[in-house]
Structure formats: structure tokens, C-alpha cells
Amino acid sequence: MIEASCDCGAVRMEIDEPPRWVTDCNCGICRRYGALWAYYPLAKVRVTGPTTVYQRRGRALEFHHCSVCGCVMHWSPVDKTNDRMGVNARMMAPEIVAAASVDLCDAASW
């Protein structure tokens, strides 16, 4: 069981297993967030605490932030039939992230 939390600890996540790999995406929003994304089926992640949702106009993802300290915690699909979410691995302990390989996603070039 992996635990992750925002800076203030108001939002916590429990994840069944550590990520084997994470994605470092350079699209406009991911670059600004500085996130490393680990992907999981929705049922494998339990989120507790107050979050605020931001959805870019016309996009397929909802970004969830801690309502207290503002850390970006995860994204979830707008289409709830999609069974994949992205967890910001930077909210995990550094040794968990260090054990994962990093895939670069050059989405800025698309």
C-alpha cells in the first residue's frame, strides 16, 4: 500500500501498488503543474479530503487540487466510463518515485 498526501495533509491517497513508471509530460498544463503522472484504474486509488476540480475548456480531464494548500493531486476523466486516472507521483515519498522509470511525453509538439 502506497500513501500520498498534499503539502498540508488535508488530502490523502491510498494506492494499491507503487508505480513502475511515471510520465513527465511537457504539455502546457502538466509543465506548469510540474507533475509526474502515475496511471491507475479508478478502483485502485482511494482519495479522501477536500478537493477543488479544474477542467480546461473542452478537454477530457478534470484536475483535482487540495482545497486547502492547492497541490495538484490527480486527474480523472470527464467520461466516467474511462477507467484510468493519473496520480501526481510527486505527492508520494521520494524513494517511491526514485524507484520508477520516467517516460518523457513531448505533448508540446503535438
**Maximum mean pLDDT: which of 56-60, 77-81, 99-103:** 99-103
pLDDT digits (tens, 9 = 90+) for 25-73: 999 999 999 999 999 999 999 999 999 999 987 789 999 999 999 999 9
Q: Which residues contact 52 (CB under 8 A, 6 or more apart)?
A: 64, 65, 66, 67
Phi, psi values for residue 43, rounded to 5°: -70, -15
Cα(50)–Cα(31) distance, rounded to whole angstroms? 24
Domain count, the chain: 1
pLDDT of amino acid 32: 95
Q: What is the mean pLDDT of the chain?
A: 95
Check which CATH number belongs to the domain holding 20 and give it. Answer: 2.170.150.70
pLDDT of 110 > 80? The answer is: no
The three cell numbers of residue 74 are: 490527480
Domain carrying residue 79: 2-109
pLDDT of amino acid 102: 97
Q: Which of 30, 10, 23 is nearest to 97 (CA)?
A: 23
